[in-house]
Structure 1
Amino acid sequence: MFKPFTASVLAAACIAASSSAMAGDWFAGAAIGTVKQDISVKEGGEKATYPSDRNVAGKLDDPGFGALRLGQYLNENVRVYATLGTGSVKASESGALPGISYKETYKVENREFSFSADYVDNLFSMQTTKYFVGGTLGMNQMEAEFKGAYQVSNSAQSEKGSKKDNALVYGVQLGLIQELGEHFSAELGYRYTKMNNSVKFNVDGDQYKFKLKDQKLTYLAINYHF
Protein backbone atom coordinates (compact mmCIF):
# COMPACT_ATOMS: atom_id res chain seq x y z
CA MET A 1 0.00 0.00 0.00
CA PHE A 2 2.78 2.46 0.90
CA LYS A 3 4.83 2.12 -2.29
CA PRO A 4 1.94 2.58 -4.78
CA PHE A 5 0.70 5.64 -2.95
CA THR A 6 4.19 7.15 -2.80
CA ALA A 7 4.56 6.62 -6.56
CA SER A 8 1.22 8.31 -7.23
CA VAL A 9 2.14 11.32 -5.10
CA LEU A 10 5.48 11.68 -6.89
CA ALA A 11 3.73 11.46 -10.26
CA ALA A 12 1.24 14.14 -9.26
CA ALA A 13 4.08 16.41 -8.15
CA CYS A 14 5.92 15.94 -11.45
CA ILE A 15 2.79 16.62 -13.52
CA ALA A 16 1.97 19.77 -11.56
CA ALA A 17 5.54 21.04 -11.87
CA SER A 18 5.83 20.30 -15.58
CA SER A 19 2.48 21.92 -16.37
CA SER A 20 3.72 25.20 -14.93
CA ALA A 21 6.41 25.47 -17.62
CA MET A 22 8.85 26.69 -14.99
CA ALA A 23 6.47 29.44 -13.95
CA GLY A 24 8.28 30.07 -10.67
CA ASP A 25 11.22 29.30 -8.45
CA TRP A 26 12.12 25.84 -7.28
CA PHE A 27 12.97 25.59 -3.61
CA ALA A 28 14.48 23.04 -1.25
CA GLY A 29 14.50 23.24 2.50
CA ALA A 30 14.54 21.64 5.91
CA ALA A 31 12.06 21.93 8.76
CA ILE A 32 12.15 21.18 12.48
CA GLY A 33 9.29 21.30 14.92
CA THR A 34 7.31 19.71 17.70
CA VAL A 35 4.19 17.56 17.42
CA LYS A 36 1.21 17.17 19.72
CA GLN A 37 -0.31 13.73 19.11
CA ASP A 38 -3.57 12.05 19.96
CA ILE A 39 -1.97 8.69 20.74
CA SER A 40 -2.95 5.88 23.10
CA VAL A 41 -1.02 2.88 24.42
CA LYS A 42 -2.91 0.10 26.16
CA GLU A 43 -2.05 -3.30 27.56
CA GLY A 44 -4.37 -6.22 28.11
CA GLY A 45 -4.74 -9.98 27.93
CA GLU A 46 -4.76 -12.90 30.29
CA LYS A 47 -1.11 -12.38 31.27
CA ALA A 48 -1.12 -8.59 31.40
CA THR A 49 1.83 -7.41 33.46
CA TYR A 50 -0.19 -4.68 35.13
CA PRO A 51 -3.83 -3.52 34.98
CA SER A 52 -4.97 -2.42 31.51
CA ASP A 53 -6.34 0.91 32.77
CA ARG A 54 -2.74 2.10 33.18
CA ASN A 55 -1.06 3.51 30.10
CA VAL A 56 1.83 5.86 29.30
CA ALA A 57 0.19 7.72 26.41
CA GLY A 58 0.68 11.03 28.20
CA LYS A 59 4.43 10.56 27.97
CA LEU A 60 4.33 9.89 24.22
CA ASP A 61 2.56 12.97 22.91
CA ASP A 62 5.37 15.46 22.20
CA PRO A 63 7.93 14.02 19.78
CA GLY A 64 10.32 16.15 17.80
CA PHE A 65 9.88 16.41 14.04
CA GLY A 66 12.37 16.84 11.21
CA ALA A 67 11.74 17.02 7.46
CA LEU A 68 13.24 17.68 4.04
CA ARG A 69 11.15 19.43 1.39
CA LEU A 70 11.34 20.05 -2.34
CA GLY A 71 8.88 22.14 -4.32
CA GLN A 72 8.11 24.84 -6.85
CA TYR A 73 6.14 28.06 -7.12
CA LEU A 74 3.79 27.52 -10.05
CA ASN A 75 3.06 31.26 -10.07
CA GLU A 76 3.17 34.12 -7.58
CA ASN A 77 0.33 32.69 -5.52
CA VAL A 78 0.55 28.90 -5.79
CA ARG A 79 3.28 26.55 -4.61
CA VAL A 80 3.47 22.76 -4.46
CA TYR A 81 5.99 20.67 -2.54
CA ALA A 82 6.79 17.18 -1.34
CA THR A 83 7.82 16.49 2.26
CA LEU A 84 9.76 13.58 3.71
CA GLY A 85 9.58 13.77 7.50
CA THR A 86 10.13 11.71 10.61
CA GLY A 87 9.56 11.98 14.34
CA SER A 88 10.01 9.62 17.26
CA VAL A 89 9.39 9.56 20.97
CA LYS A 90 10.30 7.18 23.76
CA ALA A 91 8.84 6.66 27.21
CA SER A 92 9.38 4.24 30.07
CA GLU A 93 7.34 2.97 32.98
CA SER A 94 8.72 1.16 36.04
CA GLY A 95 7.41 0.03 39.38
CA ALA A 96 6.56 -2.91 41.57
CA LEU A 97 3.50 -5.04 42.19
CA PRO A 98 3.11 -7.96 44.62
CA GLY A 99 5.68 -10.54 43.53
CA ILE A 100 7.03 -8.60 40.56
CA SER A 101 9.10 -5.54 39.68
CA TYR A 102 9.22 -4.25 36.12
CA LYS A 103 10.60 -1.69 33.71
CA GLU A 104 8.90 -1.23 30.34
CA THR A 105 9.99 0.97 27.45
CA TYR A 106 7.70 2.18 24.66
CA LYS A 107 8.91 3.78 21.43
CA VAL A 108 6.79 5.20 18.60
CA GLU A 109 8.32 6.45 15.34
CA ASN A 110 6.39 8.09 12.50
CA ARG A 111 7.67 8.41 8.92
CA GLU A 112 5.73 10.64 6.55
CA PHE A 113 5.75 11.25 2.83
CA SER A 114 3.27 13.89 1.74
CA PHE A 115 2.36 16.28 -1.07
CA SER A 116 1.13 19.80 -0.27
CA ALA A 117 -0.28 22.78 -2.17
CA ASP A 118 -0.49 26.31 -0.73
CA TYR A 119 -2.01 29.63 -1.70
CA VAL A 120 0.58 32.35 -0.97
CA ASP A 121 0.08 36.13 -0.89
CA ASN A 122 1.56 39.27 0.64
CA LEU A 123 0.71 39.91 4.28
CA PHE A 124 -1.09 43.26 4.22
CA SER A 125 1.10 45.48 1.99
CA MET A 126 4.47 44.03 2.98
CA GLN A 127 6.56 42.87 0.03
CA THR A 128 8.91 40.47 1.83
CA THR A 129 6.43 38.94 4.31
CA LYS A 130 3.76 36.56 3.03
CA TYR A 131 1.12 34.29 4.46
CA PHE A 132 0.12 30.86 3.18
CA VAL A 133 -2.80 28.47 3.61
CA GLY A 134 -3.18 25.06 2.00
CA GLY A 135 -3.76 21.33 2.22
CA THR A 136 -1.67 18.17 2.57
CA LEU A 137 -2.20 14.57 1.44
CA GLY A 138 0.16 11.65 1.91
CA MET A 139 1.06 8.52 3.83
CA ASN A 140 2.20 8.01 7.43
CA GLN A 141 4.00 4.89 8.62
CA MET A 142 3.93 4.28 12.37
CA GLU A 143 6.33 1.81 13.97
CA ALA A 144 5.65 0.89 17.59
CA GLU A 145 8.12 -0.99 19.76
CA PHE A 146 7.82 -2.45 23.24
CA LYS A 147 10.52 -3.81 25.56
CA GLY A 148 10.03 -5.13 29.07
CA ALA A 149 12.35 -6.37 31.82
CA TYR A 150 10.84 -8.14 34.84
CA GLN A 151 12.01 -9.60 38.12
CA VAL A 152 9.64 -12.32 39.32
CA SER A 153 10.55 -14.29 42.47
CA ASN A 154 14.29 -13.70 41.92
CA SER A 155 13.96 -14.78 38.29
CA ALA A 156 14.76 -12.27 35.52
CA GLN A 157 12.54 -12.24 32.45
CA SER A 158 12.36 -10.07 29.33
CA GLU A 159 9.85 -9.47 26.54
CA LYS A 160 9.86 -7.41 23.36
CA GLY A 161 7.87 -6.80 20.20
CA SER A 162 7.44 -4.33 17.34
CA LYS A 163 5.14 -3.74 14.39
CA LYS A 164 4.47 -1.22 11.59
CA ASP A 165 1.29 0.22 10.10
CA ASN A 166 0.68 2.48 7.07
CA ALA A 167 -2.23 4.93 6.91
CA LEU A 168 -3.45 7.82 4.79
CA VAL A 169 -2.63 11.26 6.23
CA TYR A 170 -4.48 14.44 5.24
CA GLY A 171 -4.83 17.90 6.69
CA VAL A 172 -4.45 21.66 6.42
CA GLN A 173 -1.66 24.13 7.15
CA LEU A 174 -1.11 27.86 7.46
CA GLY A 175 1.71 30.19 8.38
CA LEU A 176 4.06 33.01 7.47
CA ILE A 177 6.99 33.26 5.04
CA GLN A 178 9.74 35.85 5.45
CA GLU A 179 12.04 36.44 2.49
CA LEU A 180 15.72 36.63 3.47
CA GLY A 181 17.49 38.07 0.46
CA GLU A 182 17.44 36.68 -3.07
CA HIS A 183 17.81 32.95 -2.39
CA PHE A 184 16.58 32.25 1.15
CA SER A 185 13.33 32.41 3.09
CA ALA A 186 12.23 31.42 6.59
CA GLU A 187 8.85 29.89 7.28
CA LEU A 188 6.85 29.53 10.50
CA GLY A 189 3.88 27.20 10.14
CA TYR A 190 1.18 25.18 11.85
CA ARG A 191 -0.30 22.01 10.37
CA TYR A 192 -3.14 19.78 11.52
CA THR A 193 -3.34 16.28 10.06
CA LYS A 194 -5.61 13.28 10.52
CA MET A 195 -4.60 9.64 10.22
CA ASN A 196 -5.71 6.32 11.64
CA ASN A 197 -2.59 4.33 12.40
CA SER A 198 -3.15 1.35 14.66
CA VAL A 199 -0.66 -1.31 15.75
CA LYS A 200 -1.54 -4.36 17.82
CA PHE A 201 0.82 -7.19 18.74
CA ASN A 202 1.18 -9.94 21.32
CA VAL A 203 4.22 -10.48 23.52
CA ASP A 204 4.17 -13.69 25.55
CA GLY A 205 0.40 -13.58 26.00
CA ASP A 206 0.15 -9.84 26.60
CA GLN A 207 -1.59 -7.69 24.00
CA TYR A 208 -0.22 -4.21 23.28
CA LYS A 209 -2.17 -1.69 21.21
CA PHE A 210 -0.84 1.64 19.91
CA LYS A 211 -3.26 4.01 18.16
CA LEU A 212 -2.59 7.38 16.52
CA LYS A 213 -5.51 9.57 15.40
CA ASP A 214 -4.11 13.02 14.62
CA GLN A 215 -1.14 15.36 14.88
CA LYS A 216 -0.74 19.09 15.52
CA LEU A 217 2.61 20.25 14.17
CA THR A 218 4.31 23.59 14.82
CA TYR A 219 7.45 24.02 12.71
CA LEU A 220 10.17 26.34 11.49
CA ALA A 221 11.62 25.86 8.00
CA ILE A 222 14.50 27.38 6.03
CA ASN A 223 14.16 27.30 2.23
CA TYR A 224 16.72 27.84 -0.49
CA HIS A 225 15.30 29.16 -3.80
CA PHE A 226 17.00 28.35 -7.11
Structure 2
Amino acid sequence: MKKMTLVALATLFALPAYANQTYIAAELGKGSYSMSGNAAKHESFNDLDNVGFLNIKLGQMLNENVRYYGYLQHGGDTTSEVTYLDAKTKSNLKTYELGLGGDYLYHFTNQFYAIAGANLGMYKSHLKLDIEFPNKVNRTLLNKSNKGITTGANLGLGYTFTDHFGMEIGYRYTHFFGNDYSVELDKKYEMQFDASHMGYLNLNYKF
Protein backbone atom coordinates (compact mmCIF):
# COMPACT_ATOMS: atom_id res chain seq x y z
CA MET A 1 0.00 0.00 0.00
CA LYS A 2 2.82 2.38 0.90
CA LYS A 3 4.58 1.60 -2.38
CA MET A 4 1.37 2.28 -4.38
CA THR A 5 0.94 5.61 -2.58
CA LEU A 6 4.50 6.65 -3.43
CA VAL A 7 3.96 5.73 -7.09
CA ALA A 8 0.71 7.71 -7.20
CA LEU A 9 2.36 10.78 -5.64
CA ALA A 10 5.31 10.54 -8.05
CA THR A 11 2.91 10.35 -11.01
CA LEU A 12 0.92 13.33 -9.73
CA PHE A 13 4.00 15.53 -9.33
CA ALA A 14 5.31 14.44 -12.74
CA LEU A 15 2.26 15.90 -14.50
CA PRO A 16 2.59 19.53 -15.71
CA ALA A 17 0.80 22.14 -13.62
CA TYR A 18 -1.66 23.12 -16.36
CA ALA A 19 -4.69 24.38 -14.46
CA ASN A 20 -5.19 28.17 -14.47
CA GLN A 21 -2.04 28.84 -16.49
CA THR A 22 -2.14 31.73 -18.94
CA TYR A 23 -1.34 30.62 -22.46
CA ILE A 24 0.26 32.77 -25.19
CA ALA A 25 1.33 31.64 -28.66
CA ALA A 26 2.87 33.15 -31.79
CA GLU A 27 1.94 31.23 -34.92
CA LEU A 28 3.17 31.31 -38.51
CA GLY A 29 1.26 29.60 -41.30
CA LYS A 30 1.31 29.01 -45.01
CA GLY A 31 -1.66 28.02 -47.12
CA SER A 32 -4.23 28.94 -49.71
CA TYR A 33 -7.73 30.30 -50.20
CA SER A 34 -10.57 28.32 -51.74
CA MET A 35 -12.01 30.68 -54.38
CA SER A 36 -15.12 30.33 -56.51
CA GLY A 37 -16.87 32.37 -59.20
CA ASN A 38 -15.90 33.14 -62.79
CA ALA A 39 -13.06 35.44 -61.64
CA ALA A 40 -11.33 32.77 -59.52
CA LYS A 41 -9.16 31.64 -62.45
CA HIS A 42 -8.78 35.04 -64.10
CA GLU A 43 -5.19 36.14 -64.80
CA SER A 44 -5.60 39.30 -62.72
CA PHE A 45 -6.08 37.27 -59.53
CA ASN A 46 -3.70 34.37 -60.25
CA ASP A 47 -1.55 34.56 -57.12
CA LEU A 48 -4.11 35.65 -54.54
CA ASP A 49 -4.94 32.10 -53.47
CA ASN A 50 -1.47 31.53 -51.97
CA VAL A 51 -0.94 33.35 -48.71
CA GLY A 52 1.01 33.48 -45.44
CA PHE A 53 -0.53 33.96 -42.00
CA LEU A 54 0.52 35.43 -38.65
CA ASN A 55 -1.58 34.54 -35.61
CA ILE A 56 -1.26 35.70 -31.99
CA LYS A 57 -3.20 33.87 -29.26
CA LEU A 58 -3.78 34.68 -25.60
CA GLY A 59 -5.80 32.37 -23.38
CA GLN A 60 -6.14 30.17 -20.35
CA MET A 61 -5.56 26.49 -19.54
CA LEU A 62 -8.69 25.26 -17.74
CA ASN A 63 -6.99 21.95 -17.00
CA GLU A 64 -4.43 19.67 -18.64
CA ASN A 65 -6.89 18.80 -21.45
CA VAL A 66 -8.87 21.98 -22.20
CA ARG A 67 -7.84 25.51 -23.10
CA TYR A 68 -9.57 28.59 -24.53
CA TYR A 69 -8.11 31.69 -26.16
CA GLY A 70 -8.67 34.90 -28.05
CA TYR A 71 -6.78 35.39 -31.29
CA LEU A 72 -5.78 38.07 -33.76
CA GLN A 73 -4.71 36.93 -37.22
CA HIS A 74 -3.23 38.76 -40.19
CA GLY A 75 -3.97 36.77 -43.34
CA GLY A 76 -1.14 38.19 -45.36
CA ASP A 77 -0.71 41.09 -47.76
CA THR A 78 -0.83 39.31 -51.12
CA THR A 79 -0.22 40.99 -54.48
CA SER A 80 -0.67 39.63 -58.00
CA GLU A 81 0.64 41.46 -61.09
CA VAL A 82 -0.03 40.44 -64.70
CA THR A 83 -0.02 42.00 -68.16
CA TYR A 84 -3.42 41.61 -69.78
CA LEU A 85 -4.43 42.99 -73.23
CA ASP A 86 -1.49 45.46 -73.30
CA ALA A 87 -2.35 46.72 -69.84
CA LYS A 88 -0.78 45.85 -66.50
CA THR A 89 -3.12 44.83 -63.67
CA LYS A 90 -2.19 44.74 -59.99
CA SER A 91 -4.46 43.15 -57.41
CA ASN A 92 -3.88 43.23 -53.66
CA LEU A 93 -5.67 41.31 -50.89
CA LYS A 94 -5.46 41.93 -47.13
CA THR A 95 -7.37 39.91 -44.54
CA TYR A 96 -7.64 40.21 -40.75
CA GLU A 97 -9.45 38.03 -38.20
CA LEU A 98 -10.38 38.48 -34.55
CA GLY A 99 -12.13 35.83 -32.50
CA LEU A 100 -12.33 33.15 -29.82
CA GLY A 101 -11.32 29.51 -29.89
CA GLY A 102 -10.96 26.40 -27.78
CA ASP A 103 -8.85 23.24 -27.97
CA TYR A 104 -8.98 19.76 -26.51
CA LEU A 105 -5.56 18.22 -25.81
CA TYR A 106 -5.12 14.46 -25.75
CA HIS A 107 -1.86 13.48 -24.05
CA PHE A 108 0.06 10.48 -25.36
CA THR A 109 2.79 11.18 -22.80
CA ASN A 110 3.49 14.00 -20.36
CA GLN A 111 5.11 15.95 -23.18
CA PHE A 112 3.56 14.77 -26.47
CA TYR A 113 -0.10 15.47 -27.27
CA ALA A 114 -2.70 15.76 -30.03
CA ILE A 115 -4.91 18.83 -30.56
CA ALA A 116 -8.49 19.19 -31.82
CA GLY A 117 -10.20 22.55 -31.72
CA ALA A 118 -12.64 25.06 -33.15
CA ASN A 119 -12.92 28.83 -33.41
CA LEU A 120 -15.47 31.54 -34.15
CA GLY A 121 -14.58 35.06 -35.19
CA MET A 122 -15.01 38.11 -37.38
CA TYR A 123 -13.00 38.97 -40.49
CA LYS A 124 -12.21 42.10 -42.45
CA SER A 125 -11.03 41.60 -46.02
CA HIS A 126 -9.94 44.25 -48.52
CA LEU A 127 -9.40 43.68 -52.24
CA LYS A 128 -8.02 46.32 -54.63
CA LEU A 129 -7.52 46.03 -58.37
CA ASP A 130 -5.59 48.68 -60.34
CA ILE A 131 -4.87 48.79 -64.06
CA GLU A 132 -2.07 50.69 -65.80
CA PHE A 133 -2.56 51.43 -69.50
CA PRO A 134 0.29 51.79 -72.03
CA ASN A 135 0.07 55.60 -71.78
CA LYS A 136 0.81 55.31 -68.02
CA VAL A 137 -2.72 56.28 -67.06
CA ASN A 138 -3.78 54.43 -63.90
CA ARG A 139 -7.32 53.44 -63.02
CA THR A 140 -8.72 51.71 -59.95
CA LEU A 141 -11.28 49.11 -61.01
CA LEU A 142 -12.05 47.67 -57.58
CA ASN A 143 -11.47 48.97 -54.06
CA LYS A 144 -13.77 47.20 -51.62
CA SER A 145 -13.79 45.86 -48.06
CA ASN A 146 -15.92 43.05 -46.65
CA LYS A 147 -16.73 42.16 -43.04
CA GLY A 148 -18.33 38.98 -41.79
CA ILE A 149 -18.22 35.86 -39.66
CA THR A 150 -15.65 33.08 -39.76
CA THR A 151 -15.84 29.57 -38.35
CA GLY A 152 -12.92 27.20 -38.20
CA ALA A 153 -11.54 23.85 -37.06
CA ASN A 154 -7.99 22.68 -36.41
CA LEU A 155 -6.03 19.48 -35.83
CA GLY A 156 -2.44 19.25 -34.71
CA LEU A 157 0.34 17.81 -32.58
CA GLY A 158 2.24 19.46 -29.77
CA TYR A 159 5.32 18.92 -27.65
CA THR A 160 6.19 20.59 -24.36
CA PHE A 161 9.91 21.06 -23.80
CA THR A 162 9.41 22.35 -20.24
CA ASP A 163 6.43 23.06 -17.98
CA HIS A 164 6.20 26.47 -19.67
CA PHE A 165 7.57 26.29 -23.21
CA GLY A 166 6.24 24.22 -26.14
CA MET A 167 5.77 23.95 -29.88
CA GLU A 168 2.84 22.86 -32.07
CA ILE A 169 2.25 22.02 -35.73
CA GLY A 170 -1.07 21.46 -37.42
CA TYR A 171 -3.72 22.24 -40.00
CA ARG A 172 -6.52 24.82 -39.75
CA TYR A 173 -9.60 25.21 -41.96
CA THR A 174 -11.51 28.51 -41.86
CA HIS A 175 -14.80 29.29 -43.62
CA PHE A 176 -15.72 32.88 -44.56
CA PHE A 177 -19.35 34.02 -44.79
CA GLY A 178 -20.14 36.69 -47.39
CA ASN A 179 -16.63 37.42 -48.63
CA ASP A 180 -17.75 38.23 -52.20
CA TYR A 181 -16.40 40.65 -54.82
CA SER A 182 -17.35 41.67 -58.36
CA VAL A 183 -15.60 43.79 -60.99
CA GLU A 184 -16.17 44.88 -64.61
CA LEU A 185 -13.32 44.03 -66.98
CA ASP A 186 -14.14 42.79 -70.48
CA LYS A 187 -17.29 41.47 -68.79
CA LYS A 188 -18.60 41.22 -65.24
CA TYR A 189 -16.49 38.97 -63.02
CA GLU A 190 -17.52 37.68 -59.62
CA MET A 191 -15.33 36.00 -57.02
CA GLN A 192 -15.90 34.52 -53.58
CA PHE A 193 -13.21 33.78 -51.01
CA ASP A 194 -14.96 30.79 -49.46
CA ALA A 195 -12.35 29.38 -47.09
CA SER A 196 -8.69 29.17 -46.16
CA HIS A 197 -6.52 26.09 -45.66
CA MET A 198 -3.43 26.60 -43.53
CA GLY A 199 -0.56 24.54 -42.22
CA TYR A 200 0.90 26.20 -39.13
CA LEU A 201 3.77 26.11 -36.66
CA ASN A 202 3.62 27.90 -33.34
CA LEU A 203 5.71 28.53 -30.27
CA ASN A 204 3.79 28.84 -27.01
CA TYR A 205 4.47 29.78 -23.44
CA LYS A 206 2.43 29.12 -20.29
CA PHE A 207 2.90 31.17 -17.14
Fold agreement, TM-score > 0.5:
yes
In the alignment, structure 1 residue 179 sits paired with structure 2 residue 166: no
Matches within 5 A, 1:51-130: 54-87=42-75, 88-96=77-85, 101-123=86-108, 126-130=109-113
User: Which amino acid in the other structure matches residue 112 of structure 1?
Assistant: E
Matches within 5 A, 1:132-171: 132-151=115-134, 155-160=135-140, 161-171=142-152
Deviation at 1:208, TM superposition (A): 5.8
In the alignment, structure 1 residue 223 sits paired with structure 2 residue 198: no
User: Which amino acid in the other structure matches residue 20 of structure 2?
Assistant: G
TM-score (norm 1): 0.75
User: Which amino acid in the other structure matches residue 82 of structure 2?
Assistant: E
Deviation at 1:72, TM superposition (A): 0.8
In the alignment, structure 1 residue 198 sits paired with structure 2 residue 183: no
CA distance in 2, matches of 1:110, 1:145: 12
CA distance in 2, matches of 1:54, 1:216: 21
Partner of 1:5: none
Structure 2 SS opposite 1:75: coil
Partner of 2:20: 24
Between the two proteins, what is the percent identity of the paired residues? 26
Distance 1:171 1:213, change over 3 A: same
Structure 2 SS opposite 1:139: strand
Deviation at 1:70, TM superposition (A): 0.3
Deviation at 1:24, TM superposition (A): 2.3
Partner of 1:188: 169
Deviation at 1:186, TM superposition (A): 0.4
Deviation at 1:114, TM superposition (A): 1.9
CA distance in 2, matches of 1:41, 1:159: 23
**Gapped runs of 5+ residues in structure 2?**
1-17
TM-score (norm 2): 0.81
CA distance in 2, matches of 1:135, 1:38: 19
Deviations 1:58-108, CA, capped at 9 Å, x for gaps? 421111100111011111111001110112211111044xxxx21000111
CA distance in 2, matches of 1:91, 1:28: 34
Distance 1:29 1:84, change over 3 A: same
Distance 1:93 1:42, change over 3 A: farther
CA distance in 1, matches of 2:191, 2:124: 13
Q: CA-atom RMSD, angstroms?
A: 2.4
Alignment check: 8 A CA contact 2:176 2:194 kept: yes
Alignment coverage as a number of residue pairs: 187
